[in-house]
């Protein structure tokens, strides 16, 4: 059977870069998103809120491919602070950002175990240090790290589970987040972010795809339950400095 990698959120900026990198690494890429993903070999359009459908899909893909990895990149980011998110926004955030990967792994775990596979979830620095106005997003990204630690224990020694936690990456989602402050303020905040980042720039989607590729590879065969922060050194600086 064909060696394959599943990538969720495959149509976005980071998702497309992940698909391209996985294909470059020699894998057949199965992209899952609400819209079609041209970067994937096989694009499946699916609402990631549908738990049972994801379990069934994981099982079906496990029966058709040798699954090397599940890369969970999909996420929703309600722009709302404490007490402002609706129940539907909270529910969708947990379903997409956290529960979807559990559902996929539930169906695919046997194939992953058979093929020395791994799970990599794309978390966020917002799971550890955040900003105002994105409460549900920050909460679910913190929960995703907790899921990964637990999954590393439950799925080991056959399947490794790790987190890549990006900082600011130049995507539509980042631009949407900055837009909530208005155009002028957004540009000022971007400039400040670049200034306070050790590497002096905002990241590129490829900066996330590379570390994910490493964690899937045999070079990372003794790494599980880990969080790799990919933020250009932004969180190395004290907030009071």
State the CATH number of the domain containing residue 220: 3.40.50.720
pLDDT at residue 220 in the model: 98
Total tally of structural domains belonging to the chain:
1
Residue 142 placed within a domain:
yes
Q: Which of 120, 115, 118 is nearest to 66 (CA)?
A: 115
Domain span holding position 27 = 3-168+204-231
Q: What is the pLDDT of residue 175?
A: 73
Q: What is the pLDDT of residues 65-99, one digit of tens each?
A: 999 999 999 998 888 888 889 999 999 999 999 99
SS3 236: helix
Tens digit of each residue's pLDDT (9 = 90 or more) over 102-111: 999 999 999 9
Average pLDDT on 53-59 reads 97
Q: What value does the mean pLDDT take over residues 163-170?
A: 93
Decide if pLDDT at 179 tops 70: no
pLDDT at 38: 95
Q: Does the pLDDT of residue 230 top 90, yes or no?
A: yes
pTM over 0.75: yes
Confidence of residue 59 (pLDDT cuts 50, 70, 90): very high
Residue 3 three-state SS: strand
pLDDT at 134 over 90: no
Cβ 37 vs Cβ 31: under 8 Å: yes
Whole-number pLDDT of residue 171: 82
Please indicate, yes or no, if residue 193 is contained in any of the structural domains.
no
User: Mean pLDDT, to the nearest integer, of 42-68?
Assistant: 96
* Whether pLDDT at 177 is above 70: no
- 113 within some domain: yes
Q: How confident is residue 181, by pLDDT bands cut at 50, 70 and 90?
A: low
In a domain, 208, yes or no: yes
Is residue 236 a part of any domain in this protein?
Answer: no
d(CA 73, CA 208): 10
C-alpha 149/C-alpha 18 separation (Å) is 22
Instruction: List, by residue number, the catalytic residues.
Output: 137
| pLDDT at site 82 | 86
Query: What's the pLDDT score for residue 133?
Result: 80
d(CA 72, CA 34): 14
pLDDT of residue 189: 77
In a domain, 78, yes or no: yes
List, for residues 187-214, the tens digit of each pLDDT value: 777 788 888 888 999 899 999 999 999 9
Residue 211 in domain = yes
Does residue 185 fall inside a structural domain? no
């Amino acid at each position: 059977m064909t060696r394959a990698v599943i990538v969720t959120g495959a149509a976005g900026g980071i998702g497309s870069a992940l698909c391209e990198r996985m294909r470059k690494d020699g894998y057949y890429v199965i992209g899952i998103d609400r819209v079609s993903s041209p970067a994937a070999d096989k694009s499946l359009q699916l609402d990631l809120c549908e738990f049972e459908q994801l379990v069934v899909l994981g099982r079906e893909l496990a029966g058709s491919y040798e699954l090397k990895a599940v890369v969970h990149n999909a996420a929703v980011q309600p722009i709302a602070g404490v007490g402002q998110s609706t129940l539907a926004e909270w529910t969708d955030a947990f379903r997409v950002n956290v529960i979807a990967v559990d559902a996929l792994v539930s169906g695919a775990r046997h194939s992953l175990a058979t093929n020395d596979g791994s799970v990599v979830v794309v978390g966020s620095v917002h799971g550890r240090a955040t900003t105002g106005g994105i409460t549900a997003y920050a909460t679910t990204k913190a929960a995703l790290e907790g899921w990964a630690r637990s999954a590393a224990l439950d799925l080991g020694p056959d399947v490794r589970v790790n987190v890549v936690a990006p900082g600011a990456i130049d995507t539509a989602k980042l631009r949407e987040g900055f837009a909530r402050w208005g155009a002028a303020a957004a540009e000022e905040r971007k400039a400040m972010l670049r200034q306070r980042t050790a590497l002096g720039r905002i990241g590129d989607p490829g900066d996330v795809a590379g570390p994910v590729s490493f964690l899937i590879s045999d070079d990372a065969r003794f790494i599980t339950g880990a969080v790799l922060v990919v933020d250009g050194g932004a969180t190395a600086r004290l907030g009071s400095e």
